[in-house]
Chain A
């Protein structure tokens, strides 16, 4: 199986992390959807954003093995941080600048992630699930209670970001929103890709695989987990900020439990541990939601539930896992004949 070109082991490791043709094709397809579906730009922007949220969960779940049910907390905190920046900074250019808004959204969410990361270090999967869920619920409660700041259950109105880089203002058709969301998502994704392909990324896999072994090697397991949890929270916050800026609205819905559950579903659906799983899952999930939502808007939840149940029972590794299994089967057939 070892290809001829990179004979040296280091070369082989480097060779494995290069950009593949199908990755380029994926991003090219993402960009060209602007021309193919000009009437669906807002929907597509939302897909990028959901995908980015799922990718951030993949960092903790797929690479570091931390189970979380509360990524919605960071998403929501980022969403409100960016929304408040844009609302109260309206007019005064530097404060309502969308990029600055994302920076603040990411920093605030990252700070919350750093503080709460210490809660997920101890205990089993079960305590982690409960702690992350508890944090998310507390954030949700704060958002709905602090009516003066967040607008309570009515949501945050009057979010108006300045033009991106002072040039492109957000338009009604979502053209600016599309490119803005695509580019930010790509940059964050590229960052995550570097991260998981680095020595740091490999050490996360070591922790996921066997924390005891990682410790006996001399790895500071807790420090690494705090780091990746904080990074993931930051990226979730950025994706939340993106959603607020592109939809010009923030609502408690953005911190609700179903956010976390949807994002987790998207990731598992696409396949966790591959980074692209989150993105592909987001495409399928959102398109399905749009499709079924048009037929029976109320009972969308039923189909989500059914997909989850079937996924757990029958499909390992989500869509990407299925594709890989297929490829394996074909290549084995090829060898056999």
Chain B
């Protein structure tokens, strides 16, 4: 029981790291980047290549995945994405679905269609007992890393100068621009960090989520659910949404496997019907 809760929380925190970049960029530029999962996949596959083909330690893969996806993100943002900010949501959706398809086919071409397996280093495999429950060490590791990242992000956003500018831009981009905030620059940086976090999430997820070319499509719906429940105005909203989703998904698949797959979709549709502005958003929805 507690094991499942633990696994669910670990899964949820992983989802948060994967999705948080999307939430912020959506709130900041009102831009739907459905291809966000492709950056996560990039990080995941980089880990696969570094570990399985080059024999590099898993610990080095994490920062490498972050950097790789962040650079990828910033390049794509400057070259392609920025042309789409003033286009319709439909165009943005089509464009990012196009990117997903290209990424899927490219990965398929380079790495094959079968799921890639990443072997955990011995120090992270095995289980420990906490409060009488068997908990995977790796799940613990994921929770610690993601927890630290969340605290770090919250600190940056709440306490630093960059964070206050970011918050101002999310609140009202026009006003922020008028006050001399470089919204475009903030956006590029946020996009890079968000993509990097997705890449890091992909690397962290490589051992436990199955890493195959359909990854961006499979997790796209999770990201959308996180956004629809958590909203895009804060990062605490998506955080709690991710945890809720992780626990519901893991728990649902364990206790009621026949309908486990429905649970998350049902949550999403229910939230959109009853609280179209999201469960964990500020009451003054914009």
Contacts and interface: CB of A to CB of B under 8 A. Distances in A.
Interface of A: 61, 67, 69, 119, 122-127, 129-131, 133-135, 137-138, 141-142, 145, 257, 261, 264-265, 268, 298-309, 311-313
Interface string B85-117: 001111101110111111111101100010000
Given A127-B276, A130-B228, A133-B221, A298 B269 contact: no
A309 B198 CA distance: 22
Contacts of B221: 133-134, 137
A305 B104 CA distance: 9
B252 to A, nearest CB: 12
B83 interface: yes
B95 A313 contact: yes
Contacts of A61: 90
A300 B106 CA distance: 11
A298 B89 contact: no
Contact of B105 (A131, A265, A301, A312): A301
A135 B269 CA distance: 8
Contacts of B106: 302
A331 to B, nearest CB: 28
A107 B22 CA distance: 39
B265 A304 contact: no
A119 B98 CA distance: 26
Contact of B87 (A119, A305, A312): A312
B102 A141 contact: no
A301 B104 contact: yes
A257 B219 CA distance: 13
A130 B272 contact: yes
Interface in B225-276: 225, 227-228, 258-259, 261-262, 265-266, 268-269, 272-273, 276
Interface residues of B, number: 43
B217 A311 contact: no
Contacts of B108: 298-299, 301
B97 A308 contact: yes
Nearest to B102: A305
The A interface is mostly helix, strand or loop, or mixed, namely helix
A139 to B, nearest CB: 10
B276 to A, nearest CB: 5
Nearest to B90: A67
Given A138-B262, A301-B105, A308-B101, 11 more contacts: A67-B90, A67-B93, A129-B89, A138-B269, A261-B97, A265-B94, A299-B109, A301-B108, A302-B109, A305-B104, A312-B94
A330 B104 CA distance: 41
B156 to A, nearest CB: 26
B32 interface: yes
B84 interface: yes
B188 interface: no
25 contacts: A61-B90, A67-B93, A123-B272, A125-B88, A126-B26, A127-B276, A130-B225, A130-B227, A130-B272, A131-B272, A134-B268, A137-B221, A137-B265, A145-B261, A265-B94, A300-B105, A302-B105, A302-B109, A305-B100, A306-B102, A307-B98, A308-B95, A309-B80, A309-B99, A312-B84
Contact of A138 (B98, B228, B266): B266
B224 interface: yes
A126 B103 CA distance: 23
B25 to A, nearest CB: 13
A326 to B, nearest CB: 22
Highest count of chain A CB atoms <10 Å: which of B80, B84, B104, B105: B105
A289 to B, nearest CB: 13
Nearest to A69: B93
Highest count of chain A CB atoms <10 Å: which of B98, B104, B224, B262: B98
Contacts of A137: 221, 265
Contacts of B101: 301-302, 304-305, 308
Contacts of B84: 312
B228 A127 contact: yes
A69 B102 CA distance: 19
A309 B88 CA distance: 14
Contacts of A306: 98, 102
B268 A130 contact: yes
Nearest to A141: B261
A312 B98 contact: yes
9 smallest beta-carbon distances between A and B, as pairs: A308-B98, A305-B101, A302-B105, A305-B102, A125-B89, A309-B98, A312-B95, A305-B98, A301-B105
A123 B285 CA distance: 11
A307 B109 CA distance: 18
A125 B90 contact: yes
A284 to B, nearest CB: 16
Contact of A126 (B89, B95, B100, B259): B89
Highest count of chain A CB atoms <10 Å: which of B90, B106, B266: B90
Contact of A299 (B105, B217, B266): B105
A123 B269 contact: no
A137 B266 CA distance: 10
Given A67-B89, A130-B228, A137-B221, A309 B102 contact: yes
Nearest to A256: B217
A329 B100 CA distance: 35
Highest count of chain B CB atoms <10 Å: which of A125, A127, A305, A313: A305
A225 to B, nearest CB: 16
A303 B273 CA distance: 37
Contacts of A67: 89-90, 93
A264 B266 CA distance: 24
A134 B109 contact: no
